[in-house]
Structure 1
Amino acid sequence: MARWTPGARDRLQAAAFDVIRARGFDAVTVAEIAEAAGVTERTFFRHFADKREVLFDGQSTFVTAVAEAVAAAPARHDAVAAVRHGFDAAAEMFPDERRPRSRARGAIIAADEGLSEREAQKMRSLAVSIAAALDGRGVPEPEASLVARAAVGVFEVAFAAWIAEGETRGLREIQTSLFDRLGALLAG
């Protein structure tokens, strides 16, 4: 196998999705993922700490991007508008060409209880980061946590819709629609 081949990280992720979807997360080894990607195990471990990390790569980047966008929202924005601003910025991280990979990832996570718990932990971390960003904007508790958790719920529903078979709308469009619907529901 070649050393230092370009694109190894992307190939490892693509290979992991293919192999894990075919056989299940627990049945696949790092060695099998590396072989399918045409690299060594050592190369795998240069990019990922373990096989779970292949599926959760970019988690901290996403959480940071949302929280920073919430913090950077225009001062005139209330808590809800600031959070919407944060998720609008995050939607840019999920262009339509990323949808097939996100669908594969979603199917893998849904099929494994441990991975589903890890995904839920990621969402809790996101809510905490958003609440902290809102706190930095002067939003008191419990309002900061309520808005953060509701917004994460909107994102989860929007993302599930975005990766659903047959869906053609962009993530931002779906999020906007769901935030509007939630606002209407809460307004009574």
Structure 2
Amino acid sequence: MGRWEPNARGRLEKAALDLYGERGFEKTTVAEIAARAGVTERTYFRHFADKREVLFGGTSELQDMLTNTVADAPAAALPLEATAGALEAIGGVFLGNRDRARRRQAVIQANPELRERELIKMATFATALAETLRNRGVPDPAATLTAEAGIAIFKVAFTRWLESPAGKELPDYIHESLNELKAVTAPPSTG
């Protein structure tokens, strides 16, 4: 492929995921990823700072979607409702991408450095979400608790989605996980 071929970023992401799956993260070089994608190393570094970042592309866009959806929620929405709406919105980004998400998660789980990077990403999401909730007038510790619960809901739903057979999509698991959290926090019925 020539340098002019479209979607260099997408080709690089696919090449990296393929090579990480075949050879492992540690044994794969940027030069190999670039060659597999049909671009130069220089092109690789125009898109990604290092070989880890190819797995985390779109992180800032997801964070923006999460915080913007909460910020734009109706004023009457309870903090957890606004958060749930945002989680379901970002869950929609993954529609039809279960196989890619499974492959990416397998690479991350096989490497401690990548697991750490994933944890940092989730912590950053929680911090941004808490700040957005505070900007909506939610006081602490409620803002922080809601944000952390939201990220926990997302992580549980994401794992369930990856481990499930085809059928339900990530937003369905997010909705189910939220309902399960509500069920364990609801007062017992008298009856």
Report deviation, 1:4. 2.4
State the partner residue of 1:74. Answer: 74
State the partner residue of 1:25. Answer: 25
Q: Which amino acid aligns with 1:161?
A: R
User: In 1, are the aligned partners of 2:3 and 2:38 still within 8 Å (CA)?
Assistant: no
CA–CA distance in structure 2, aligned partners of residues 55 and 129 of structure 1: 21
Q: Which amino acid aligns with 1:32?
A: E
What does 1:1-188 correspond to in 2, within 5 Å? 2-96=2-96, 98-164=97-163, 166-188=165-187
User: In 2, are the aligned partners of 1:161 and 1:167 still within 8 Å (CA)?
Assistant: no
Report deviation, 1:23. 1.2
CA–CA distance in structure 2, aligned partners of residues 66 and 177 of structure 1: 19
Report deviation, 1:141. 0.3
Q: Secondary structure at the match of 2:27?
A: coil
Q: Deviations over 1:50-96 (max 9, x none)?
A: 11110000001101110110111111111111111111211221112
Q: Deviations over 1:135-170 (max 9, x none)?
A: 011100000000100110010011111122524211
- Point out the more displaced range, 31-40 or 144-153: 31-40
CA–CA distance in structure 1, aligned partners of residues 183 and 41 of structure 2: 52
User: In 1, are the aligned partners of 2:19 and 2:28 still within 8 Å (CA)?
Assistant: yes
% identical aligned pairs: 44
Q: Deviations over 1:95-124 (max 9, x none)?
A: 12x111111110000000010000000000
Q: Deviations over 1:22-41 (max 9, x none)?
A: 11111110001111112111
Q: Which amino acid aligns with 2:17?
A: F
Q: Which runs of 5+ in 1 are unaligned?
A: none
CA–CA distance in structure 1, aligned partners of residues 89 and 37 of structure 2: 32
CA–CA distance in structure 1, aligned partners of residues 91 and 75 of structure 2: 21
Q: Secondary structure at the match of 2:52?
A: helix
User: In 2, are the aligned partners of 1:162 and 1:168 still within 8 Å (CA)?
Assistant: no
Q: Which amino acid aligns with 1:172?
A: P
